[in-house]
Chains A and B, each alone.
Chain A
């Protein structure tokens, strides 16, 4: 895999998340009834950062949970390695505005699974979606409410998101498969 383009660095990501934090507060007219659910694994860290921002802007405490959607996937049996993380939503989501956070929005299938999973926990007032990068190529009628960066990509490209909490560095890059050399 080769790096094709560098998209966001640490400062960019920080600015994007602060902007999204303000947008969430603006759209929901404050932080009342807001709860956050991050999708494993990098969505969890992004959700925590947005929560920290909102807590410092508003001087309030915001609840955040984490969600693993393995049990709700539509591709079980298609040789996907079942790497399951712990789901932990230690609060009632009934009548709350649930802000779902993921790193990259691509086909929309992960978000579809996440919506099903969240609804099994109760009936929220609304579910809103935050993504750091929207790379297009949706296969389902799903869109994000808050987008860090719209990034048109080709299908054979990959979007690599790295976050300090797991990768030691904050960055978003576009990667491309190495072209195979013609056999000589």
Chain B
């Protein structure tokens, strides 16, 4: 089903395809636990990481995923390539395609660029985040993390908290979670909400206290300072009052519930220092590191399913 397919947005993935990815991911998680963390599944395949925007975890995650499957991976980043010399995206793309690569992973700061690239390229393209639009592999790894904790999706209550308007993670996660039957509440003040909120048909609350006791999943978004051309939130103090996850709020969360964050965390803004350093039972609610571990496995499954 996923063979040779580009992964651009959540909308173009079917529920069957999502389930196929999630079901396969367990086997890839096991590979990462071995002493020799490498299998020859994609030997001889060449993958390009084409990053027009800074990234550490997504880029590293794809690179580790490709290497554990024995594929060769080449990194192109805007700051070190001839894009800096003024070459257009399309000429860069043509150059890469002329080198007979099998798959391209693209991140770009403009929404829609990855879709455009996928229409030009005759090989599969994976969106590693484009502007404010989509970050489908983040949504898939988040969904897998939820599956590992809860085993099913139907009837779960997730609250997505923070900078909705600037977050591609929010867009992909809300769409994917809804697709799989998770109930979504969005928590943000109106200046952090997009105009087309109706599109998501999600309940909206303005304060994290409205959802903290009832939610199974608290999904904290990163404040996207780099995407805010003007300061749209008055102060950190106000953010802390209405939206931050602090120790007091963490303690109010119900039994078995979890906290997620796509990283990197702005400590003291979305999540307090105290929560980030928590230990014992409270720390057990934090899935942030598991998200990273699961991310490698989900991306391995995706690369394998597309290229095999």
Contacts and interface: CB of A to CB of B under 8 A. Distances in A.
A121 interface: yes
Chain B interface bracket (under 10, 10 to 19, 20 to 34, 35 or more): 10 to 19
B41 A70 contact: yes
Given A70-B41, A82-B308, A87 B36 contact: no
Contact of A86 (B30, B39, B69): B30
A86 B40 contact: no
Interface in A84-140: 84-88, 116-117, 120-122
B308 A77 contact: yes
Chain A interface bracket (under 10, 10 to 19, 20 to 34, 35 or more): 10 to 19
A10 B75 CA distance: 57
Contacts of B24: 82, 84
Given A76-B308, A120-B36, A121-B36, A86 B41 contact: no
B308 A120 contact: no
Nearest to A119: B36
Contacts of B41: 70-73, 76
A41 B155 CA distance: 34
B55 interface: no
A42 to B, nearest CB: 18
B231 interface: no
Nearest to A113: B40
Contact of B27 (A73, A77, A84, A116): A84
B30 A116 contact: no
Contacts of B31: 71, 87
A121 B304 CA distance: 21
Nearest to A94: B35
A101 to B, nearest CB: 20
B38 A86 contact: no
Most chain B CB inside 10 Å of its own CB: which residue of A70, A71, A121? A71
Contacts of B237: none
Contacts of B42: 76
B307 to A, nearest CB: 8
A120 B39 contact: yes
Contacts of A77: 307-308
Given A87-B27, A116-B40, A71 B34 contact: no
Contacts of A76: 41-42, 308
A82 B23 CA distance: 11
B101 interface: no
B26 interface: yes
B213 to A, nearest CB: 37
Most chain B CB inside 10 Å of its own CB: which residue of A87, A117, A120? A120
A33 to B, nearest CB: 20
B305 interface: yes
B27 A120 contact: no
A72 B27 contact: no
A86 B36 contact: no
Interface string B35-72: 11011111000000000000000000000000001000
Contacts of A72: 39-41
Closest 10 CB pairs of A and B: A71-B39, A71-B41, A84-B27, A76-B308, A120-B36, A82-B308, A84-B24, A86-B27, A87-B30, A86-B26
Interface of A: 68, 70-73, 76-77, 82, 84-88, 116-117, 120-122
Given A71-B31, A84-B27, 11 more contacts: A71-B69, A71-B304, A72-B41, A76-B308, A77-B308, A82-B304, A86-B26, A120-B34, A120-B38, A121-B34, A122-B35
30 contacts: A71-B31, A71-B40, A71-B41, A71-B69, A71-B304, A72-B39, A72-B40, A72-B41, A73-B41, A76-B42, A76-B308, A77-B308, A82-B24, A82-B305, A82-B308, A84-B24, A84-B27, A85-B27, A86-B26, A86-B27, A87-B30, A87-B31, A88-B30, A117-B39, A120-B34, A120-B38, A120-B39, A121-B34, A121-B36, A122-B35
